[in-house]
Amino acid sequence: MPRWLRDTRVIIGLSVLVVVLALALLAPLLVQATPDEQDLLATLLPSAWAKGGEAAHPLGTDSLGRDVLARLLYGTRLALTVAAIAAPGAMILGTIAALLGGYFGGWVDWVIGRAVDVWMSFPPVILSLILMVGLGTGSRNVILAIVLVDWTRFCRVLRAEVLVVVQRDYVTAARLVGFSHARVILREILPAIVPLLVTLLTLEMGIAVVVEAILAFVGLGVKPDEIAWGQMIADGRATIYQAPINLLAPVAAIFVTVAGFNLLGDGLRRSLDLRLVEGRG
Amino acid sequence: MSAAFARRLLAVAPILAFVSLLLFAALRLLPIDPAAMSMPPTATKVEIEAARHAMGLDQPVTTQYVIWLGQTLRGDFGNSIHMRRPVAGLLQETLPATIELSVMAMLIAGVIGLGGGLGLFALRDRRGEAVAETLTTLMMSLPEFLWALLLIFVFGVLLSALPFTGRLDPGMTRPVVTQFLLLDTLLVGRVDVFFSALRHMVLPAFALGVAFAPPIMRVLRASLIDAYQEDYIRQARLRGVGEARILLGHALQNAVLPTLTLMGVQFGFLFGGSLLVEVIYSYPGMGNLMVDAVRNADLPIIQAVGLTYCVVVLAITALVDGLVMLLNPRLRGA
């Protein structure tokens, strides 16, 4: 068994994520109802096992009579899509900045360091809100906003690591042999930081799920016709007394998905023996 | 020491200048005409042009930035387009509320974080360790806005134990002395209003605090484990010092510095996270002001509030750095 699979948390996290991914992919097969089909005669139905519930709507309906389970499953697609594109995007941007700054040092490093300072002085939520005002709603812009806000999470941690790796003998040797900068960076330094990179990427995917939900909740995320967990939460909050499942179902979905990413990330950190301590915002 | 601290503050100035430039540039690129928005829909083209001229929008962008920066430095943030009121007044009313919420939440985060960190450390190398660590991972998977919603559901809706909207019971009027509600109620001697305000803050402050506690727990635990590797711990043991005194008197003193640095970082994140908690609890702070402004594309408010968040975060970071310098004997002479 490879080293990274040896931690129980890695296995639990991966299993959770595989199930979530399967639910997203198989959504049309799992529920008959379509997520935006309204039935104004059957609004705010409770879950099937509660009194007054119907088997056709296992988790009940929302205030417009739309099936909660269907919306939950289709919302998974958006959450995972955003996580799968935004997190690698932030990683690529942050890693390039960290490699350039850590390897070349001097004014390159200075400029990147000051850029990180400026970015870090914005609370992430505030910066993403401001960006969404400028970019406008839509899932593509949500992804762009997450990339533009969160590249610093990668840059900060990776730059410190690059500075350590650059000092190692084999890197010095590679430079003395006369390899090009690109080759030293890509073939000698990059492989050394891959374990850290993968761990950070996993954690960032969880963060992306949360940010997508936050923006949709505030009403600045996806367009109204896209189905998002944050949108469901905003709707469900209005009917918290009549049909709490409308609120609790998407909250649980976010928790389970983010927990999957975090268990996997923490497990990887442990089994790959990384020292990584960071705040969360 | 004070020279080093002054240098730290000076380093903040260019960052702030750049932040202001970024805010100004980002929001000037929007396809929104503040002049047209500030006029009634019946205004003629000539009237709008006159308003554009009065607002300086017909001048070059660089001139506009200099004018805006000059006014901002003098505390004049312009007028809200939507509410037709000076933004400075709106900030004066909402910033204290957000500070009250954030400080209270940070205290809760500190208590849970430090207590939890000691607990995690006590479990080291025991059977419960893996379980406890998994629990903190799960805790980290609940961001502040999910905590806020869950707490409303349990304590507000199911148990009806605590209020979850606004700051005071209906019918109570808020005394205004300093704009800090908790302080003002005590200054005018209205203990009943004070307790009402406090009850309204329990859920939002707890939601915010508990969400930011897990990283504090982890850092304290890791720092304590590091401290226990040091020679002075073995020396103390050899001298026959009790385990409790070793932990509290020796190890904790050294482990607390990295923890404090992280708590500063966490406070910055927490201050930004208060936005969502405010929205969920209809708490009249800067977060609600910001979200309303964002929905109405109210540029003067977005610029001023965005800048205020940055100023507070930079101030917290500088303060914590200063505190760490004061507490760390190795940096004291610097």
Which tops the pLDDT comparison, B84 or B218? B218
Backbone dihedral angles phi then psi of residue A208, each to the nearest 5 degrees: -60, -40
Nearest CA to A219 out of A203, A237, A207, A205 is that of: A237
b/e B247-277 (16+ beta carbons within 10 angstroms → b): beebbbebbbbbbbbbbbbbbbbbbbbbbbb
Distance CA A165, CA A190 (A): 9
Q: How many CB atoms lie within 10 A of CB B302?
A: 25
What is the domain range of residue A195? Answer: 3-280
Among all chains, which residue has been given the structure tokens 């896209």? A226
Residue B45 CA from chain centroid, whole number: 43
Mean pLDDT over all residues of chain B?
A: 86
Please tell me which of the candidates B138, B140, B145 has its beta carbon nearest to residue A217: B145
User: Mind listing the pLDDT tens digit for each residue in B196-221?
Assistant: 999 999 999 999 999 999 999 999 99
A132 touches chain B (CB under 8 A): yes
The domain that contains B203 carries what CATH number? 1.10.3720.10
> How high is the pLDDT of residue A147?
96
Give the confidence band of A275 by pLDDT, cuts at 50, 70, 90: low
Give the confidence band of B324 by pLDDT, cuts at 50, 70, 90: confident
Distance CA A9, CA A13 (A): 6
Q: Considering its fold, how many domains does chain A have in total?
A: 1
Among all chains, which residue has been given the structure tokens 């199930």? A19
**Mean pLDDT along residues B9-21:** 84
> How high is the pLDDT of residue A280?
44
> How high is the pLDDT of residue A1?
64
Give the confidence band of B231 by pLDDT, cuts at 50, 70, 90: confident
B253 pLDDT more than 80: yes
Q: How many CB atoms lie within 10 A of CB A187?
A: 12
Give the confidence band of B17 by pLDDT, cuts at 50, 70, 90: confident
Assess if residue B66 is contained within a domain: no
- CB–CB contact A255 B146 (8 Å): yes
Distance CA A42, CA A36 (A): 14
A248 pLDDT more than 80: yes
Percent of chain B surpassing pLDDT 90: 34
Nearest CA to A218 out of A130, A140, A148 is that of: A130
Q: Tokens standing for B269?
A: 């994140």
B228 pLDDT more than 70: yes
B320 pLDDT more than 90: no
Which tops the pLDDT comparison, B17 or B155? B155
User: Mind listing the pLDDT tens digit for each residue in B124-182?
Assistant: 888 888 888 889 999 999 999 999 999 999 998 899 888 888 888 888 888 888 888 88
Give the confidence band of A102 by pLDDT, cuts at 50, 70, 90: very high
ipTM at complex level: 0.89
Assess if residue B57 is contained within a domain: no
B139 touches chain A (CB under 8 A): no
Please tell me which of the candidates A117, A120, A279 has its beta carbon nearest to residue B266: A279
Question: What residues of chain B, 186 to 245, have a C-beta less than 8 Å from chain A?
Answer: 212, 214-215, 218-219, 222
Residues B309 and B270: beta-carbon distance below 8 Å: no
Out of A138-142, A167-171, B31-35, B301-305, least confident range: B31-35
Chain pair A-B, CB pairs under 8 angstroms: 137
Longest dimension (CA), chain A: 77
**For B55-180, where are the alpha helices, taking DSSP H only?**
61-73, 87-122, 128-140, 144-151
Distance CA A98, CA A86 (A): 18
Out of A128-142, B3-17, B75-89, B160-174, least confident range: B3-17
Q: pTM of this prediction?
A: 0.90
User: Mind listing the pLDDT tens digit for each residue in A191-241?
Assistant: 999 989 999 999 999 999 999 999 999 988 888 888 999 999 999 888 888
> How high is the pLDDT of residue A76?
95
Which tops the pLDDT comparison, B43 or B192? B192
Residue B88 one-letter amino acid: A
> How high is the pLDDT of residue B2?
67
User: Mind listing the pLDDT tens digit for each residue in A230-245?
Assistant: 999 999 888 888 888 8
Cα end-to-end distance, chain B, whole Å? 6
Q: Considering its fold, how many domains does chain B have in total?
A: 1
Chain A interface mutation, best of B138, B139, B145, highest count of A Cβ atoms under 10 Å: B145
> How high is the pLDDT of residue B82?
80
Mean pLDDT over all residues of chain A?
A: 88
Among all chains, which residue has been given the structure tokens 């329990």? B202
The DSSP secondary-structure symbol of A3 reads G
The alpha-carbon gap from B150 to the nearest alpha carbon of chain A, in Å, equals 8
Residues B145 and B280: beta-carbon distance below 8 Å: yes
Give the confidence band of A11 by pLDDT, cuts at 50, 70, 90: very high
A276 pLDDT more than 70: no
The alpha-carbon gap from A136 to the nearest alpha carbon of chain B, in Å, equals 10
Assess if residue B175 is contained within a domain: yes
- CB–CB contact A279 B265 (8 Å): yes
Assess if residue B51 is contained within a domain: no
Helices B144-151 and A190-218, packing angle to 10 deg: 40
> How high is the pLDDT of residue B250?
82
A220 touches chain B (CB under 8 A): yes
The domain that contains A213 carries what CATH number? 1.10.3720.10
What is the domain range of residue B275? Answer: 94-297
- CB–CB contact B272 A263 (8 Å): no
A63 pLDDT more than 70: yes
A267 pLDDT more than 80: yes
Assess if residue B249 is contained within a domain: yes
A107 pLDDT more than 60: yes
User: Mind listing the pLDDT tens digit for each residue in A47-58?
Assistant: 877 777 777 778
The alpha-carbon gap from B239 to the nearest alpha carbon of chain A, in Å, equals 32
Assess if residue B22 is contained within a domain: no
Residues A7 and A270: beta-carbon distance below 8 Å: yes
What residues form DSSP beta bridges with A67? Answer: A61
What SS3 state is found at B159? coil
The alpha-carbon gap from A224 to the nearest alpha carbon of chain B, in Å, equals 14
Percent of chain A surpassing pLDDT 70: 96
The alpha carbon dihedral of B277, B283, B289, B293 has a sign of positive
> How high is the pLDDT of residue B1?
55
Nearest CA to A80 out of A136, A16, A133, A28 is that of: A16
Distance CA A158, CA A151 (A): 11
Angstrom distances, CA of residue B182 to CA of A197, A211, B96, B200, B267: 45, 32, 10, 11, 20
Cα end-to-end distance, chain A, whole Å? 35
Maximum average pLDDT range among A16-20, A179-183, B36-40: A16-20
Based on C-alpha coordinates, what's the Rg of chain A? 22
Distance CA A122, CA B271 (A): 10
